Amino acid sequence: MAKRSTLQQYCLKAPSELFSEIDKNRMLLAGISNVSGTTRADYIRDAIEHYNRYFTEVVERKVKRFKTIEDEFDDVSGFYYDNGVDVRW
C-alpha cells in the first residue's frame, strides 16, 4: 500500500526574469558531486527553508526585543512640558 505524501502542491507565479535567475543560480551548484544541478523545485524549497530559519533566528529575535523596549515606554510620563518648562502636578 502506497503512503500518502505529506507535500502540498502550490503554484508559484513569478516574472520570467525571476525564474531565469533561479535557473542560473541553481546551475551554479552543479559540479562533480551534483552533475545535473538541483531541480527548480528543490532549489526553491531549500531557499524557503533557509529563509524561514533566518526569519526565526534573526527577525523574530529583533521583533521581540523591540516589543520589550516598546513596552517600557508605554507608561505615561509623570510630567508635562509647557513652552519648554517642566510643569509637574
Judge contact between 26 and 34, C-beta under 8 A: no
Interatomic CA distance for residues 32 and 24, integer angstroms: 17
Write down the domain spans for the chain.
17-73
Q: What angle do CA 37, 26, 55 make, to 5 degrees?
A: 125
Q: List Cα–Cα distances, 55 to 14, 16, 61, 67, in angstroms.
A: 22, 26, 9, 16
The alpha carbon of 89 is separated from its chain's Cα centroid by a whole number of angstroms, namely 47
pTM over 0.85: no
Tens digits of residue pLDDT in 19-51: 999 989 888 878 777 777 788 888 999 999 999
Checking if the pLDDT of 4 tops 60, the result is yes
